Amino acid sequence: MARKFDLVIIGGGPGGYTAALKAAEFGMKAVVIEAKKIGGTCVNRGCIPTKALLHASNMFHMMQNCDEFGVSTDFISFDFAKMQRYKREAVIKYRESVVRNFERLQVETVHGTATLRRDRTVEVELAEGGKEFFQGTHVIIATGALPIMSHIPGANLPGVWDSDRLLAAQNWNFDRLTILGGGVIAVELATIFNNLCAHVTIIEKQKHLMAPMDDIMSIELEKELRRKGIDIYCDATVTEIREEENGLWCTITPNEEGEPVKMRAGQVLMAIGRRPNITRLMGNDVSLKMQNGKIAVSEDFETSEPGVYAIGDVCTKNQLAHVAAAEATYVVEKLAGRNHSIRLKAVPSGMFVSLPIVPNCIYTSPEIATVGITEEGAKQVGLKVRCGHFSMRENGKSIISGTENGFIRLVFEAYSNTIVGAQMMCPRATDMIGEIAMAIANGLTAEQMSFAMRAHPTYNEGIGLAIQDAMHHEPV
């Protein structure tokens, strides 16, 4: 007989654990079913471990270049195993904080593999053996995504890694690393291993890295990565990986004109994207509607099965932890009959354009962060805009820290001067982008944003100066 809950949640990542905690706060009885460890990919194999290694590798990189700051050392080295231990400790601390909140709010956790059955019933093959059934007044699917592995010849060789395995590697064997793919995972891992003096090569099939991003940002990112010594091949595909006496070799084939190039690869990382994790999710008595390989959902994230919802990477375009958490909050508040406390998009007063207010962040050096729409995106929807640009070469904090390669670009609707977008490439961009997301969500104008004083010297001053610059430009 099935145990009954107000909310049964399949998956314990940012979407799943946020839904559970929010439901418990509203007095709902919730259970989370997780096949591996609470925290999902983000906490255990994604965001947190990646940023921990970025932090550690950046410290090593800074120490190698500290002489200009009057700091000298006779010898500097890194211990990759110790870096991994530091990363694991960060992961454990974060995961334990989630578990403590589960205990505080009496959220039940079940470890096992879940299969959705009819009547909002979930069958769980328990990790310790046996089966158990759970029936929810509502069910939320938050099973996330898995790395995609290419099927090109040689993709199954021992030196070919996915991001999950690479982040768990214990021994240093990465003096040369070739990365297939040019998305967020690719450029962040390229940054880590470049910081640790590996010879890194990125091969991307699109014409630019980070293809969905504004071309200006993509080109600036490529310039910065090349300046750091990372080799980049865009508009090209790896068509074969071969194992020879001196290691792995890749054949790089241009998408259009040009002859294939054979290149020594070292270790190879497949970072060509992630696919929804729906393995064993649906039983024979349930058939959820799919769309482009993802679970199809309504505007309220309800699937084709009444009472069953899906959030996060398993159903949405933006595969981001904070998007999954925001969708979880949205769904649970709706189920609990509460007012929504978070927006996923906004239509500013007097406009006809729906603006995305999801911050997109890339933790390279310098950091990259965007929100809203670009100048080009505004033109495509018939919106006249003013753009303000500020170069970080003129920013006091950037001069002090030696991080002057960057900029802040703001986009305002031309007649109301309402903020509609921002693109930043500078230190702390991933922290500062929240200010712009808040401004877009609340329909703030350039004048209203200028009311707030910004401390000196800070990177954040650049926002105020970009606002001033925009107001001196004619609409485009």
Nearest to 145 by CA among 315, 398, 357: 315
Give the residue carrying structure tokens 């509460």: 338
CA 206 to chain centre: 19
DSSP letter (8 states) at residue 445: B
Phi, psi of 287 (to 5 degrees): -140, 100
State both tokens at 334: 């709706």
Determine the Cα–Cα distance for residues 435 and 432; give it in Å rounded to an integer.
Answer: 6
Secondary structure (DSSP) of 127-160? TTSSEEEEEEEEEEE---EEE----STTTTSTTE
- 323 with 316: CB under 8 angstroms? yes
State both tokens at 224: 């910065």
- Where on the phi/psi map is residue 266: left (φ > 0), alpha (ψ -120 to 50), or beta? left
Give how far Cα 205 sits from Cα of 9, 183, 216, 272, 321, Å. Answer: 37, 11, 18, 9, 25
Beta-strand runs (E) in 194-318 = 199-204, 231-234, 236-244, 247-254, 261-264, 267-270, 274-276, 290-291, 294-295, 308-310
Secondary structure (DSSP) of 155-214? TTSTTEEEHHHHHH--S---SEEEEE--SHHHHHHHHHHHHTT-EEEEEESSSSSSTTS-
Residues, the chain, total? 476
Phi, psi of 274 (to 5 degrees): -130, 145
Catalytic residue among 199, 208, 340, 456: 456
- Where on the phi/psi map is residue 311: left (φ > 0), alpha (ψ -120 to 50), or beta? beta
- 308 with 1: CB under 8 angstroms? no
CA 453 to chain centre: 31
Task: Using DSSP bridges, classify how beta strands 294-295 and 231-234 pair: parallel, antiparallel or unpaired.
Answer: unpaired
Task: Using DSSP bridges, classify how beta strands 368-372 and 419-425 pair: parallel, antiparallel or unpaired.
Answer: antiparallel
- Cα atoms in the Cβ-side hemisphere of radius 13 Å centred on 111: 8
- Directed axis angle between helix 80-104 and helix 14-25, to 10°? 30
State both tokens at 21: 């905690």
∠ CA 209-212-214, rounded to 5°: 80
Q: Check if 456 is active-site.
A: yes
Catalytic residues: 456
